[in-house]
Structure 1
């Protein structure tokens, strides 16, 4: 099935400078790829017993199975063996195994996002439909994918490569493409970055890094405040800049043009947890009403241009951890313009019945998994929600429970619950492991089991 995403092109306006988006993509058996990109963020990567499996759109080899054929069933990526974490960009995929010095990469490579100089970067042949190695240092401990750039943590340092016109690689340049991984060691002022990096996150055209001192740094496009400062100050940052106002951060995530950071701060009587968000907020992904006074509008009176250049607390996420039964956030994941939170009892093991999914943001494809029902306060969620909602179970009769893992991709979501992978939201390319619907109206708005596992 072929499809165009008119709304996606609107919310991904920052990517329009990357390529001319014309026409629609489909499956292919040829050894060349389309010269234009019209469908992106439409594939998934999950694990079954540390085996990487992919599904969805594959015109650029992003499924890694040696073909350019779309798949609506999870497909093992051959030749990888045991993997520990993976990430999906607009048209490429990354994975690594703990205690190694390489990131395995496959898919689109016109902007060198695979990090291997032996792979072509030409318009028709700039791809690899099988994994190739991006060489770093040992050990690799994290990986993330932006739209057309890649990030990793290796030997306690941040590494980056790929598309760099907005400075999202962070090497103090705006060279169009950085062909091999480079280590980042300087901040925007030329000083040293903190010694130990623990996590990276890739936005559409920007990047984030979390360090073990609880600080967060951002770099790349600042069109809507993604770097944590007003766009008028600078439209891009070529080196990491510390995000002001954040401390005691334990986890980060990046959407297309927005960011999340989870804080855990010691307070009297225990630990306080809260979730911060900043950047683009027109779809409610910051937890603020786009038409309200809590956000700035690039165009006055137009809530579709709402953003916050300074981190704001997502309402409903502030909690003081009193005991092991207190519901806390254990994991966060961001798609293009929506976010998932894995919540559960603080002292309970992942996957026990207390663990559920809360979601927020864009919901046009049903990616919040709440069947587009109103929020508890009565707000409609047929397009988006700036209030957190619970994802429902596969029968729509209650909340999805027993969750142990969450994955937010482009406009779709996946979660592992009670040992079973479920998907909801955009499935127009089979990225949920189910046949694509005849129209977007048929995309599942509550979780459906991923087939073939």
Structure 2
């Protein structure tokens, strides 16, 4: 509907252009350069100037005049890019320098990354604790945690500001993907690279060793690769042919090969060999793939329904995501334990873990089937009734005392009263009671301390 055809008191209809999911939060880019976020907010990852959860999409007021053109979620932080001003913004949990501002402070409203000002960026990738950016010239910059070499800088020291990955000098990088502690890249010539933590073969290099600099994956069936994505400890890649390959950790079937075997080199997902894949995304332990007909497939860890097949059983091979038969999906993003997608009709669906409101339905309930987010969908409220955060200037609050926050890692051994109440809420058809969430086997609970 054109603005000129609206009544004077009707708000403009907006559409969701892109969605990105983090550990327990979600972010959407809308027409009109608006950005909204929802879900867990205790580390500032929502950008609203506080540590509150949002169970419904809320406009980030401080980005209102920034002309944002791209968004990307890390686990507990978020980035945005404005093409018109060539500015990268970041906010959220700041440990290990993942925000790129030269320190490890958390930020509760977006701030520009000074080291990247004026640089034209084609893509930003965010992992658990590190980020990377590709310039339009094909150069790569990385920053954040680097204990296993995931920044590709030739050492394992963290970087508090973006630094150029010199190993890619003369090599034009097309696409990047970041996992928990590893990174992957596809070049313009179709080559695949991996670096960082490689214990499960997630670098695709045929061994379980770490790499401090990008290493080229050996050729696979003479394929040229066009897309790459990372899960927590696994990697997904798509070739020009549309063939899908996965490698790395498969304890929960997240590689999609019908078993639980790790693969140290790219291995084709046979179940989708007749379905040309055009988009992929990796969650903590699950994977989704979109084919050229707009059909969405999911597999892997499914404890909270994040695969989208109506149950909570792990799936070792690709399964058609249900409740989307009448729509064609055009974009999808996996969070740690939830999934969000946009359809060609402009509807937004989410499913999986919902205990922090990251599904955007106004509650804190897990769902094993996709449910339309009414506030954002073209067949719903079409973004006309979205609230905005109260912080409107850069002088707003950007620090929250440790006593006002919860633990960062999404474990539920300690909960606020409100989360206990959420657990006891009524659960409807195809909804899963929020009860337990495991954490990485080697992780310790990250308690907040002062800066």
Question: Is residue 2:332 matched to residue 1:411?
Answer: no
Using the alignment, how far apart are the partners of 2:153 and 2:171 within structure 1? 17
Helix, strand or coil: the match of 2:67? coil
Given the alignment, which residue of 356, 361, 373 partners 1:429? Answer: 356
SS of the aligned residue for 2:124 comes to strand
CA contact (8 A) 2:304 2:353 kept: yes
Aligned residue in 2 for 1:277: 246
Asked if the contact 2:272/2:318 (under 8 Å) is kept, the reply is: no
Deviation readout 1:355-389 (Å, 9 max, x if unpaired): 221111111111111102xxxxxxxxx33111111
1:79 has 2:62 as partner = yes
Distance of 2:190 and 2:206 partners within structure 1: 23
Structure 2 match to 1:254: 230
**Separation (CA, whole Å) in 2 of partners of 1:262 and 1:143:** 19
CA separation of 1:212 and 1:404: change in aligned 2, threshold 3 A: same
Cα distance, 1:100 vs structure 2: 4.8
CA distance in 2, matches of 1:145, 1:400: 32
Give 1:288's match in structure 2, choosing from 257, 261, 267: 257
TM-score (norm 2): 0.73
Counterparts of 2:143 and 2:362 in 1: how far apart (Å)? 34
Maintained 8 Å contact 1:100/1:138 = no
Matched, 1:387 2:369: no
Deviation at 1:313, TM superposition (A): 0.4
Q: For residues 244 and 280 of structure 1, what CA distance do their matches in structure 2 show?
A: 19
Which of 220, 225, 239 pairs up with 2:201?
Answer: 225
Structure 2 match to 1:446: 369
The answer for the alignment partner of 1:147 in structure 2 is: 128
Q: Could you tell me how far 1:91 is from its partner in structure 2?
A: 0.9
Q: CA deviation at 1:289?
A: 3.3
Taking a change above 3 Å as real, the CA distance of residues 193 and 279 of structure 1, as seen in their structure-2 partners, is: farther
Structure 2 match to 1:161: 143
What is residue 16 of structure 1 aligned with on the other side?
none
Q: Which residue of 2 aligns with 1:67?
A: 50
The alpha-carbon deviation at position 400 of structure 1 amounts to: 5.3
Q: Which runs of 5+ in 1 are unaligned?
A: 1-39, 187-191, 265-271, 296-306, 320-326, 346-354, 373-381
* Structure 2: runs of 5+ lacking an equivalent: 1-21, 377-451
The residue that corresponds to 1:57 in the other structure is 40
- The Cα of 1:110 is off from its aligned counterpart by 1.4
Quick one: structure 1 residues 289 and 386, their matched pair in 2 at CA, closer, same or farther if it must change by over 3 Å?
A: same
Out of 342, 361, 375, the residue aligned to residue 300 of structure 2 is 361
Contact 1:361/1:384, CA 8 A, preserved across alignment: yes
Post-superposition CA distance 1:310-367 (Å, at most 9, x none) = 1100122223xxxxxxx5322111111111212233xxxxxxxxx2211111111111
Query: Residues 194 and 205 of structure 2 are in contact (CA less than 8 Å); yes or no, is this contact kept in structure 1?
Result: no
Query: How far off is 1:83 after superposition?
Result: 2.2
Say if 2:273 is the partner of 1:318.
yes
**SS of 1:79's equivalent?**
helix
